[in-house]
Structure 1
C-alpha cells in the first residue's frame, strides 16, 4: 500500500480513527499476533514483547502503529489498522481518571501553557508536550527501554540544548525512569476497576451546547445510531442568532468512553474529541474545524432520557434592556425558574430542553441561576448593562504562517472578549472581580513593541477579523519586502474594545509546525 509521508499525520488522525472495520473482522488478539509477531516475540501466554507492558490512548496507539509503518516497513490495510487501534485502546488504554488531567492535548486546545517540573521539563518536555508522556502507562523496564528507543531513534539528542550540558543518559536512567515508573505505572487500581466496569453507551439522543468559530454560541441535538462502529450521527445545530444547520457524520468510541467523531455541520467539516462520563449521562470535550484545529469551542452534552440535567444556556450573556429568548439546554426539563439579577419563571419545553422569554430591565447587572425540575445550573446566565473591565482570552496566543505551496497550512488564532464587573473593592483586575462572560467586541492589532513597529509586523504578519476576533496569519516563505527577506512572523498586541471597556493580549505569529502528530 502507499507509504505515509513523514511529518503531518495529525490531519489523518480523524480519518484513521474513524475507518470502518473489515467486513469479516478477526478478533483483535489474532490480528495483533498476525501483524506484529514478526518483530515482537510472544511469551508463554501469547502476549507480545514491548506491546504487552504499555497502555495508551487511541491516538497513542495510532502513532505507534503509524511509526511501525513509517520506519519499519510494516504493511497494513486501513481497516486492519483501525481494528488494531480499537483492540489495543480497549484492552490496554487509560481509565477516565488517568486521562482526565491531560485531555487538553487530545482535544488539541490551543495556547495551553504547561509547567512540568524537573527533571521531566528538561528531559521530556523540551521536545514534546508533557501531556504526551502522561498519557502513557508502562512498567519500569518498559520506561527504561523507552530511553533506549529515544537514543536509537534520535541519536543526536545528547548534543542538543538541555542535554549536552549534563549527563543526559545517566539522569534518564537514574532519575527519570524511576520517576516515570512511579507517576505513570502500568498497573493501577483505576485501570483494573475500569476494565471491570460496565461501559456507557454512546447510542441514543444527546442535547448539547458549544460554540462555532464564526457564529458564536450554539446548541442542538444529536442522534447516535447503529449496531457496529463507526456509528451514524445525525442532528441539528442552532446558533444564538437563529441559524439552523444540519449535522451528520460518523463516530467511533474507544476504551468505553473516548468519543471520536467526524461531522459535517452545514457545509463545514468538524471533528469532536470528547469523553463520555462514567455513568453515561454526560459528554464533554472540544469540537473544532477539521481543517484548522485551532478554531473550535468547548462541547458539553447530556443524554436525553436520564435524570433531569442542564448542559448550558444559550446565549450565556444578555445585554440589559433588550428582550430575547434564552434556551436552557437539557433533559427532563419543565417549567424554568431564573433567580438572581433577573427573576422569571415559565418557559416552553422543546426538543432541546426549554425556552424562556426574558426582558431584563435597563440597568440590570448580575449573574442568574437556572432551575428546572431537579436540575440547577448556578450562574449559568449573566445580564449586564455595563462592563467595568475587559480581558482578552487567551491572554497569550500563537499563530503560524503557512501555505505558499508548502505542506503546512496556516494556523489561525481566535480570541474572546470577556467582560468583568469590579468586585466589592471597586477596583478592576483584583481577585474579587466578577466574570460576566463573552461579550461582543471590535478587534484590531498593533505592534507589541518598538522592534515589531520597526519591522512593520502589523502590515506583514496577517489580518485580524474586526468582529470575530479571528486572526489569519500571512503566507509562509521569504518576503522580499521585509529586512533580509525574512518571513511574515510578527509580535502583536491584540486589542479588544466593547463600549468604554478595552482589553489587550499578545499574539506571536511564528513559522510552520512541520511535525504535527495526533498527540503533540
Structure 2
C-alpha cells in the first residue's frame, strides 16, 4: 500500500523545502537510479520506503557504484546525497540518541539491549541500524540483503548458535519496523518546521588535538550547499589560526564541513538547533578522526535585541595568579564579572584577573551565566576519557594507519563535605599534567605491553606501535596491549584504561 504523500512524495517534499531542493536533482535521481528502481509516480521503488542520514545515503550510493555499476561523478553523488537527505532524511529528534556514530566519537560505548546486541550490534554499532527508517517491507528485505551480501553471517559467532535467519525474518524485521518506522511524528513535524538560513557569523569553542582549548569566529557565506566558511581560531596561548573551507547543510540542520585550520585538515559533524541559533557536535582531524573534540557554537551578536550566550571560557580553568580569560559567547557587550575587568571583543569578552588560592569567578550577561575556577591546590584529578581504545597500524602497504588516542587531565575539589566521589565534588577544569604509561594487570606485565604497545607524549596523545608480528615479544605476537594511562599533577595521580587493539580494515562512514 502506498504511503502518504506527506512523507514520501518527492514533489510534496520539494514544496516543503522550497528553493533548497532543485527539480534538477529530482530529475538526476530519476536518471541515475530509475534504470534499476521502478518508478511509482514521483517516487522510485525501494528508495521511497527508506529514510537515512547523509552518511547513510552516501554509503548506499557508493554500494550501488561498487556492486551494481552505477556511474556518477563526485559532484553528482554529492547532489544525490543532498537531495535524498533533504527529502528522505532523519529529523533532529531521531538522530539525537545516536549522533556519536555520525561524529565518530572514539570514546562512545554502546550497551544494546537484546535482541539488538546479538543480532545486529555484533557486526556494527547499534546506531547504524537506528540511524535509518524503513517500511515493514523494507526492513524484511533488509534481512535478506544481509544474507545475500554476507553469506557467512549465519556461521559467525552469535549466528551459528541460533536460527539466525528465522529470527531475523520473524522477530528482528517486525521489531525494527516498530522501533524505527518510516513514518514518524518527528519527521512530519520537522518537514513543516521553518528552517533558518545558516549563513552568517558563528562564535565557536572547541579543542584542537595538539593546541588544546580554542575559540573562534566562523563566517558562513552562500545561499545553498556548498557554503563557504572562513574565519579564525584562537588557542588558549593566543595563537591565531586561519580557517577556510566549505560546508554542506543537509536536511535543514546537518552541518558537514571540511576546513583547513592553521594548515591542518579538519572535519566538522554538527547539528544546527531547531531555532537556528546554535550548533553542536564534534570536530576532528580529517585523516585521524580519533583526534578532535566537542564543538559548540552560537550565532554572533546581531544587534541590541540579541540575547546573550556564554559558551564557556578558554582556558577552562586557571592557576591562581594573573591571567586573562576569554569568555566565549555572543552578545557579551555588557559582561559583569565577580572579579577582574571585562572587555568585549569579537569572540565574546576578555576578562583580566588577579586571583589567590582556590575559588570561582562568575560571569553574567543578561540571562547568560558562566564561571571559571582558579586553583592553588587540588584534591584530586580525573583522566578523561576513563576508558577508550587505540589501534596499531602501519608497517605494510595494506595496513591502515595507527589510530591514536587523546587524554586530558581534569582538576577536582572535594566540595563542602570534604569527601571525594560525592555529589558536591567540583570539576575545576582542564589542567596541565605529566603523562606516562604502565601495564594494566599482571598478564600485561608478563607480556610487557607498556614496552611495546606505544607511547604517550606530554600533550596527552598516545601513539600506538606498528602493526604486525613482533619477534621481540613472546610468541611473536603483535603490539596490542592493555595499558594504564597515568596523569600526575600537583601531587595528585589518576589513571585511565586504554586497550590497544588491532587494525580496522573496513571503516565505513557509519561504523
Structure 2: how far apart are the matches of 1:418 and 1:385? 14
1:157 maps to 153
Contact map agreement 2:392 2:503 (CA 8 A) in 1: yes
Structure 1: how far apart are the matches of 2:403 and 2:326? 33
Following superposition, the deviation at residue 311 of structure 1 comes to: 2.0
Structure 2: how far apart are the matches of 1:27 and 1:198? 23
> Do structure 1's residue 29 and structure 2's residue 26 form an aligned pair?
yes
Q: State the SS of the aligned residue for 2:194.
A: coil
Following superposition, the deviation at residue 229 of structure 1 comes to: 2.3
> Do structure 1's residue 252 and structure 2's residue 285 form an aligned pair?
no
Contact map agreement 1:249 1:262 (CA 8 A) in 2: yes
Following superposition, the deviation at residue 402 of structure 1 comes to: 0.8
| Residue among 20, 40, 55 paired with 2:37 | 40
Structure 1: how far apart are the matches of 2:216 and 2:421? 35
| Residue among 484, 490, 493 paired with 1:499 | 490
Structure 1: how far apart are the matches of 2:165 and 2:423? 45
| Residue among 406, 421, 446 paired with 1:429 | 421
Following superposition, the deviation at residue 407 of structure 1 comes to: 4.3
Contact map agreement 1:335 1:345 (CA 8 A) in 2: no
Contact map agreement 1:336 1:346 (CA 8 A) in 2: no
2:359 maps to 365
2:12 maps to none
| Residue among 263, 274, 281 paired with 2:270 | 274
Q: How many residues align?
A: 485
Following superposition, the deviation at residue 331 of structure 1 comes to: 1.6
Segment drifting more, 428-437 vs 207-216: 428-437
Relative to the length of structure 2, the TM-score reads 0.92
Runs of 4+ in 1 over 3 A off after TM superposition: none
Structure 1: how far apart are the matches of 2:204 and 2:496? 30
**What residue ranges of structure 1 are gaps of 5+ in the alignment?**
1-24
1:409 maps to 401
Q: State the SS of the aligned residue for 1:347.
A: strand
**What pairs up with 1:158-307 in 2 under 5 angstroms?**
158-304=154-300, 305=302, 306-307=306-307
| Residue among 450, 453, 468 paired with 1:477 | 468
Contact map agreement 1:310 1:375 (CA 8 A) in 2: no
Contact map agreement 1:229 1:252 (CA 8 A) in 2: yes
Q: CA offsets per residue over residues 235-257 of structure 1, 9 Å max, x none?
A: 01111111111111111110011
- Which structure's relative contact order is higher, taking Cα pairs within 8 Å and 6+ residues apart? 1
Contact map agreement 2:399 2:503 (CA 8 A) in 1: no
Contact map agreement 2:341 2:353 (CA 8 A) in 1: no
Q: CA offsets per residue over residues 300-319 of structure 1, 9 Å max, x none?
A: 11111243212221111111
Q: CA offsets per residue over residues 186-215 of structure 1, 9 Å max, x none?
A: 101111111121212221111111111111
Q: State the SS of the aligned residue for 1:229.
A: coil
Q: CA offsets per residue over residues 130-170 of structure 1, 9 Å max, x none?
A: 11111101111111111111111111111111111112122
2:328 maps to 329
> Do structure 1's residue 104 and structure 2's residue 100 form an aligned pair?
yes
**What residue ranges of structure 2 are gaps of 5+ in the alignment?**
1-21
